[in-house]
Every structure is written in C-alpha cells, then in structure tokens.
Chains A and B, each alone.
Chain A
C-alpha cells in the first residue's frame, strides 16, 4: 500500500482552517470581513448549498454536488474538513483528552441504526410535509451557527471590551468597546442545550452525534457505502495490534473481524497514522478482495440506491409542494398574522420565502451591525423559532446597509444591492397622532422624522411654531428608524411599522429643486 500518512495532517490543516474561518464569521464583531470570505466558507455547507440552488440559480451554489461526488470518491471527507460542527467536536475531544481524567480506550461499537435511520426518515418526512424549515433543527451548520453566535460571540465581545477598557485606562483608544448582543433567552437556551448535548456525546463517544443524530452525516454515510475508495484493513499484513481501533473517533473499526463500517467513517485518517505496518488505508473497490457480496448485501445496496434517488428528489418535491401552497393558501396566512406579525429583513422578499429557505443559522443576526435583526420566538410559528426578524425596539435597519443579504448562506435573504434596497418595502409606517408628544404635550420632538431616510415621515407645520409628523407610506421602506426613535413609551409608541408579508416596491421620494437666495454680504 502506498504511504497514506500525509492524509491526516492534510485533514487537520484544512479542518483547522475551516473551523477557524467559521468562528471568525460568527465573531466578526467589528464587521470587518469582506463578503467574499463569508461566501467562501458558507458556500461549502451541504444543506445550505442545496437550498441556495433554489434561490440563487448559480453554479457556486451547487457545491453540494461536489460534496456528493467527493463522498462517492473517498467517503465522508466533508465531515472532517468542511463541517464546522464536526471539527468543533474534534476540538472538544482534543481538550477533553488533555484533562487529567482516565479515559476508556476506544473500542468498536455497533452503529445505533435504530436511531440514525428513523431520525433521517423523520427529517425527510417533515421536510416533505411541513416544509424546508425543519432543516432548522438538525442541520449541523445551522446548529454550529447558533452555538457560535450565542455562545462564542459574546466571549469575543467580552474580550474585546476587556482589552478596550484596559487600554482606555492607559489613555489609548485604539480598541473600541462594542455593545453586547441583546440577550434572547429562547435562542440562548436552544444553543446551549445543543452544545451540551454535543459535549456529552463527545465525552461519551467522540463522533457519536455525527453518526446518530446528524442527517447530513447519515446521508453521506449511505453514500460512502458505495464510495470508490474505502478505509479497509489489509488482512495479510495486519497484526491486529488494535492501534487503529483505539484511534478511531467513530468507533467503526472492528479489529477482531478486521472490518470497517464505512458508513460511519468520518475520514479522519487517524487509523492510517496509527498503523505501524501500513495495514489500513484507503483501498479501491476493485482491489477489495475481502468484500464478499452476498445476496442480502445486494438487496441492501438496491435499497440504498433507491433511497439516494428519493433523497435527491426530496428537496425538489418539497419545494414544489410549498409553491403549490402559495397559490391557494395566500389569503389564509393573512389571517394568521392579524395584529402585528414579524417583519422579515430586506432581501427575504416575503415571510413565506424566508420560512421556506431559512435554516436558522443566525449568521445574519451575528453580522447585523445595527442589531435590528433578532431571533424570532414564536413570531414565525414554532418551527421558525430561530429565524431572523426585524426588532425595531432593538435597533433599526441602516438604510445603506445590505450586510444580512450578503452573508445569508441559503438565499433566504437574497443578495440585494444598496440601490435595490432603497425601494424594498418591508413594511409601512403607521402614525398614531393622539399618542404623539407634539399633540399630547404640545412640545417639539421630531425624533421619528429625524431618523427617516426617505422623509416618509416629514415634519409639517402644526400649532404655533411647532411641527408634527406627516407620513407618506408610499415612499416608506419600513426600516423602523421612526419606531426605534419614538420617545413615547406608554402604552405604545406613536409611530410604528406595519409588516408587509410580501415585500412591496416603495416609490422613490420626489426630489425637488432647492431654491436658495444667494446673498453677497454677511447677513449680520
């Protein structure tokens, strides 16, 4: 067998680059990273890239095809190189091993098939019948995103502010403190419980999560059963020392029977490095003499092939289903959002569009510089618990900013330019004059109009020298600045944004020529 010992170091380097990259994305607390970096990393993610195919229609979004081909060639390399949640588990395991506890030697364990296939089945069924947003719960990237955004980012902000305070106390203002993210208990608890679940599973059995819960892991595991290259033990030179079995993070090497459960192999290549006799490694199908193809194996393979076809078609069917619903169910959803439903961010086009493609990774929320994007609780329904919504109490959408649309990995928020955003109307302004300071107190204010980028809220003459807001919903983009700035608290703000379930096109403000009298001399 050729020397394959370079595989593990290569996997380590790539894995570290990707994990570091993803942590960086979710900790871009100063919004310094260029969009290209976001695109580069997020486009490698399996389920997001499938979703992106429906929203972007570009080749860059078809990275999942590459992942499928890669898996068919050499197994689940994805799980050790591209998946941030997977590499995060390796990192946890690494630090766990540094602790002075005695750890059990790793042994071969049977696959928990009674869990992993039903979970995948449920996942697919819910995707078909409930909608795409069931991906939300189990997609590894989305889970990583929520963990990174809710647990890691605050740490980075804390460290930044600590440094800033230390430097400021020495009179240096080169690092600026930044405001801590708004604390949203449901999201935090969701992220924390997922993190704890993964932590416990890692401590119990390394990559158990990837081989039991993760639907991407199970899908790629099915594919890797028929991959061209597979990890195999070379029986004639193997001494059955068991090093590979101890090194295996997936507990999928059975040294007694000299067999490897490739469906669980996450291509970490630790076994190759651990073997002193070069008796384990990637082997081509053809030279795989040991594999005896029994009848049952054959039928199993048939089943897998059928499953794969089904899997490939599932997103298509789901998508078609959802589109059908749009045609006849449009008016029903209006009733659901009586009162004030959520406002979805510019670029998401409609609440339905967002719900169909969002996986709740919250990269947009992490990246939003003005903090107006906040995780929804039940605003989008139970399954949309982690989705982004505009929270005009927390902030308002910066007129010139298109950050969320640039970073979204699935196209739930589609890329829009600044120019396009100027006419995207996510909601319209509503004014309750009887609550307005100018009417109730008879004093000047203008806080709302002051913040309005299009002057859809304009101050017009009122009593005496006072001015009062006048609204023009046609030119309103729904940014929420007026609502955020309104000083009235009790019982409601005097001006607010009513959501457009389907985003509309705002008219551009009419710009009149300015008439100025030019004077030659000083006017005093």
Chain B
C-alpha cells in the first residue's frame, strides 16, 4: 500500500509540475532587468589564462555581486555543442565556465545550472568538453538540453521572421542568465558568438536554418538579453567552424570580453577574430532591431592587459 501511495503521489507531482510549466505564459516581461552598475559598457582582457582574465574582468565591474544577488538562481549557457576536447576550441573553455559558476556561488547564488542544446550526443559533449567536470568541481549542476519537455513556446513580438519558438525553461525561470560563447568561425552564420550561441537555448534550430538564419539569430536577441555575456577568446577557431577538423584550426588569442550588450561584444569579438563586423549579417540586423550598438567608439571600454 505504501509503495502504491508513493508511486501515485510521485506521478501526481510529475504531472502537476509538467502542467505548471506548460501553463505559464512566458514573456520578456518576466526577464530580470539588471542594469550594469559599473561605468564600463565593455571590458576586454588579454594575455592571461581564462581564470585570471575572468577574475580581473569581473573585478572592474564590481564583482559578481553586481549581477547575482543572494539566493538567486543562475543559468550559465556555454557552447557545449560538440564532442570535442578543450584544445580544439569547438566548445567554451571549461576553466572560464567553472570560474563563473564559482563566482556566482560565492556571490550567494542559490544554485547555478549549466546546459546546452548540443549538436553531437549530449552526454559525450558534456564529458569531453571538460565542462561537466569544471561545473561540478565548482559546485554547479549540469542539466540536459535534450529533453523537449523542458522547452516552452514563447512569443517574440519584435521578431521579423522568428515570431514564436520554444525556449528552455531554465532560461525562462532563472533569476540570472549568463551567456558564455567561444569565438569561432561559422560556415553558415559567418561567426559564432554571443547571439549565435543563443541558438542553443531554443529547441528547433532547423527553423532558423530554413527561414533566414541571420534574421532569426537577430530576432531572438529581442526576446531576452542575457544579464551578462562573457566571450571566451582564449582559443579561437579560425576556420572549419563551428565543429573544426583538428587543432590546426585553432589560434591561441588569449582574449576575454565581458558585456551586457550582445551587439557590441560580438562586434569586438569579430575584430579580435580579424574580420570586419559588417560581414557578419546578424550583428547588423540585431543593431537594427535595437539590441545594441556596433559603434564601439560610443562605448566606455575598459581594456586590461595581464
């Protein structure tokens, strides 16, 4: 009898929680509206290891406490798309992901969760990217991005092409959203940076590819802006991206960028990569939609060389 009760109860919990998730109407209004308390719009750090660069960069922004308050939940979205080791730079550097997790927990976060809707088989991606270990070692949790039930449809009223899409519930529910891409060349999207990385929080990527990839990438920036973007430029994949063929595709740039403005940070990252930002269509399209500025001269940039 007891066991039966348990099963019945647990089934109720499951059904109820599923219903709860699907009933809520998610809108951009629910996104937390942090404002950068620091005088800098963009922090660029170079010549250090990923951990030292993040420590130095977040310090000039007043530390992680500026973004994460006590008892808040945090979702970190690195690029974990590929079954590929850190030195191939197909995924975000595990050290910087681990460090961000640590800073969040030190700032009092209740929990820090990390996920990606991977391209290769997800358990292998989590493991071989080194990110799973880095996150767990620093007290964070890995969550799968491969369960469709975790994604809920949202409206994107300002989207030109992408009007609706299913977004992972961690992005919708968490108090703080930190976006951590790696600098990569991309065969289709020209560059893979903060905006392209957000394709990993939606379920149906095929829709993007079918319906003007660049416009869809730009459209999604009007739905939700991360509270913080950290671009890992320690290693950059210079060609054959986004998966890469060998370590020969990788150049050690030793850069890191931190900003809330996805357009600005992607503009800066494209320059670090060595390309004119005008050639990356989604950067310009996102600026047109009011998601940020490509005019770096208008911004207050802090440059740190370690």
Residues on A lying within 8 angstroms of B by beta carbon are: 30-31, 162, 165-166, 168-169, 171, 173-174, 176-179, 369-370, 395, 398-401, 437, 441, 443-447, 449-455, 458-459, 465, 467, 485, 487-488, 509, 511-514, 516-517, 522-524
Contact = CB atoms under 8 A, between A and B. Distances in A.
A451 B213 CA distance: 16
A514 B249 contact: yes
Given A162-B10, A179-B146, A516-B274, 4 more contacts: A165-B14, A177-B144, A369-B121, A522-B46
Interface residues of B, number: 62
- Dominant SS among interface residues on chain A: loop
B83 A511 contact: no
Contacts of B239: 514
Contacts of B205: 447
Given A444-B188, A445-B209, A450-B119, A165 B303 contact: no
A130 B240 CA distance: 48
Given A437-B209, A517-B274, A166 B188 contact: no
B299 to A, nearest CB: 9
Interface string B166-200: 00000000000000000000111110000000000
B52 interface: no
Given A443-B212, A455-B240, A514-B238, A399 B274 contact: no
Interface of B: 10-11, 13-14, 16-18, 44, 46, 83, 111, 113, 119-121, 123-124, 128, 141-144, 146-147, 149, 186-190, 205-207, 209-215, 238-243, 245-246, 248-251, 267-268, 271-272, 274, 279, 281, 296, 301, 303
A474 B135 CA distance: 40
A455 B245 contact: yes
Contacts of A485: 119, 209
Contacts of B274: 516-517, 523
B18 A437 contact: no
B10 A166 contact: yes
A216 B260 CA distance: 68
A467 B17 contact: no
Given A445-B188, A524-B296, A176 B143 contact: yes
Nearest to B211: A443
B187 A449 contact: yes
B211 to A, nearest CB: 8
Contacts of A30: 123
A454 to B, nearest CB: 6
Contacts of A400: 83, 124, 128
B121 A398 contact: yes
Contacts of A444: 188-190, 212-214, 281
A171 B274 CA distance: 43
A447 B205 CA distance: 9
